Each structure stands twice: as C-alpha cells, then as structure tokens.
Structure 1
C-alpha cells in the first residue's frame, strides 16, 4: 500500500509542469489521477466473471427432488386402493362362505331331524295300535262290548284306541316301550287340559282293571265310551 502511494505522488509530480511553484489546481489533480487510474498496476477498471447458480437450476433441483418422491406417493396410493379392493373381496368371500355354511348346517339339521323322527310304532307294549286294527267308532264299539259283558275287552279297546289316536292324530311321541305313566306325561305335554284329563281317567280305569283286577262301575265305563270320540277324535281339531 505504501508503494502505491509513492507511485501516486510520483505521477502527480510528473504530471505537473516543472515551472509551477504554486499548488496544483483541481483540474491538474484530476488529470494526474486519471493517468494513475489508466495504469494497469495502479488501479483501473477490471472485468471479472463469477459463476452463480441461476434460479432455473434451483427450480430444476426442486423438481428433481420432488420427482424423486413421486414414486413413493404413487406406491402409497396404489397400496391404499389395493387394500380397499382386497377388503371388499375378503368381505364378499366371508359372506359367501357364511351362506354356504348356513345352508349346509340347515341341510344337516334337517337330515338329523328326519333321522330322529322315527316312524310311529305299530304296537305299544303288546297292544296293537294300528288304525286299521281298530273300528272307526271306537267309543261306540267299546260300549257294545261293555254292555255285552266283555268288560276287560271294552277297556282294552278304549286304551288301544286312545294310544292310536294320540300317536296318529295328535302326534304324541309315544314309543313301543312307553309305559302307561309315560303316555300320560306325553299326552299332558301335547294335548289341552280337557283331552289330557280324559286320557288320564281312561288310563286309570285301564290300570285298575289290569293290575288291580277291579273294574270301574258301569256309569264310569260308559261315560268313557261316550266321551271317547269327543275328546280323542280321529282327526286332530
């Protein structure tokens, strides 16, 4: 810096006329300064160039950065849509499997019910309860037997007829090995109070005659014969 000042002073001295004893004027100073500025080592204008990032480069980099994440965004959207479709498919398959399973369950249940529904017995203990083995008017036929003096046959006909009507007309689940007491309980479960009470009276008269060797009085026996077709009709009411 000191050498530069010395050069500047020398230039001013050279630029001034030697005959002047007075201080230089402003114009003379400016002229000397202009000479100094023209010298390449003492200043002057220089043209320099520098590299700068243009805005387009920044935008380009931003676009490249954003495009590098586009595949991830697209992948996320695709996975979301795929998951939704898979959920719909899974739901439809679940409903289809449920319907198929329900149908099979109903078929199996129906088959089991048919398998459990055994055919009605033809005999209960040793008594024949087939409808074709009995007269159509059971009460009237039993009354004739009683009046003819065949008391035990009359009571047997009433009891066999009652069992046949309960099984075939009223769907009471009496089986071949059912006892008198079991038949009464089954009748109470399926029949109304009047019918079940009548059947209980009939069974009582039958048991008294068979196991107790005691016959009911004539009025009681004939009342059973008369009320038979009223309470135990051939077709269920």
Structure 2
C-alpha cells in the first residue's frame, strides 16, 4: 500500500502546479477514496478457519486402550512372579523383579551391558566343561526359594532344573532380571542341578544364583560359567 501511494504521488506531481492544480485535487481525492474502500474490503474479508475435530477413534495415530497383561500390571515387588505358575505361560515370560539392577542414568545401563558382553566374549568355553559344585547348605523350613539371572550379558542362555534328579523345569531362559521358583524340600539331602542347555551367543552359559529359606534369609549366593551340557549343583540339607 505504501508503494502504491508513492507511485500515485510521483505520477500526479506535474499536475500539482499551475493550471492543473484544481484537477490534481480532484484526482487525489478519487485515489484516496479508492484506497480507503480497498482497505475496508481487505480488512473485512473473513479469515479461513478449520473446524475442530477430535475423533481419535478413527485416526491411525491413536489406538484404543487395550487391557494390560496381568504379568505386566502386577505388583512384582510385593508378590514376585514364579516361573512355576502355569497361569502365566500364556501371557509371556515370567519375570521376577524380586531383585533387579537400578540405573539412574540410561548411559550407565548401556555401558554395563557393553561391559558384560565384553566379559563373556573374553572367556574360553572350553575351560568350563567341568561340573561345578556350588556347595552344601543346611536350611530351615520346608521350602527353599531359588532365584537366578544372567548377570553378565543376556544372550539367550537356557538351563534345565532338576531336584533329586527329577526335572522340575525343562527349559528356562536366563534374563537380565531375577526369575525364581520355590522348591518343596524333602527331609535330608536335596540336590538341585542346573544343566546348561546352550551357551547363548557370546561365551559360556553364565548365571548368578541366590538361595533363600522360607523366612527370606539368604542361604547361598553363587555364580556359574558352564559349557553346554555341564551342570552346577547345590546340596540343600533340610534339618
């Protein structure tokens, strides 16, 4: 609009003097009126508006809430999951959060995984072809709680668990967090075997194991490094 005023003034400047002065005034009034009417039309033009629409049900970006799986919504700290619970088999892996690593910084978590992977890759599986005896322990009560995890690098290690040479868990995946089971003890000796079914993808079959009595007191804490087919054995003596 400023540019238009400049052009009009420049064109009419020769008519602003002498004989053409009255004509200059008439022409100036005409252009000013035209400019005013144009600005009115411009200012009164309705703006383009889009109606609000919030139907999330039909948008692919929004999915309806689904019912959460029980093993994800449970309070694991108050009631840890047990790998022997058959009701959880259809929902997914039984993850026991009885004890787990907590990292304040995601970077620390990532570095710990790299460190664990490096530790496993640096081991020679051929050095772990001998059965490992984890010790014998006297334990009070009728039950023992055993929890275990892959403490170095979760790479797909699997084990079979036996109680007095009877298979009680045929195939258990060792994960980063503790999973566990409760074993009913018989009077006298209770032999608990963990047989390595594989060696994962980076080194020997590795795990950390903890044994608790029925009062929650820790009786034993050990680690194993096993080649495929090799076993780690506990002897729990019920008094």
TM-score with structure 1 setting the length? 0.28
> Which has the larger strand fraction?
2
TM-score with structure 2 setting the length? 0.28
> Which has the larger helix fraction?
1
Larger RCO: 1 or 2 (CA < 8 Å, sep 6+)? 2
Structure whose alpha-carbon radius of gyration is higher: 1
